[in-house]
Amino acid sequence: AQKVTQAQTEISVVEKEDVTLDCVYETRDTTYYLFWYKQPPSGELVFLIRRNSFDEQNEISGRYSWNFQKSTSSFNFTITASQVVDSAVYFCALSEDANAGKSTFGDGTTLTVKP
């Protein structure tokens, strides 16, 4: 069975601080996909990033960066120089090729960026 754990329930930072959101996953499949989604206060779900299980290259995109480590089953997400508009709930999700593409979501981390 697949499982996603986001141990940080809430994080509060001051604007311009860097913040890392943690995600740990469990899966028995060898081919899987990890996602980060953002849910701003308006409620919609916005896709941010996807990583394949066979691609451990980390990436930076603007103020966002991702650290995928298969050895520790972690897929962490960092926001550099946080802004008030980054305040949202962030969800980590896991999908498996062998599971009809169903996604398992973590319970989310609420990020509050104070001015």
Contact call for residue 105 and another protein (CB under 8 A): yes
Pick the binder of another protein from 62, 71, 85, 101 (CB under 8 A): 101
Q: Which is nearer to another protein, 15 or 73 (CB)?
A: 73
Contact call for residue 103 and another protein (CB under 8 A): yes
Q: Which is nearer to another protein, 44 or 85 (CB)?
A: 44
E runs forming strands in the chain: 3-5, 10-14, 19-21, 24-26, 32-39, 46-52, 59-61, 64-69, 74-79, 88-96, 103-105, 109-114
Q: How many residues bind another protein (CB under 8 A)?
A: 27
Burial class for 29, CB neighbours closer than 10 Å (0-12, 13-18, 19+):
middle
Contact call for residue 108 and another protein (CB under 8 A): yes
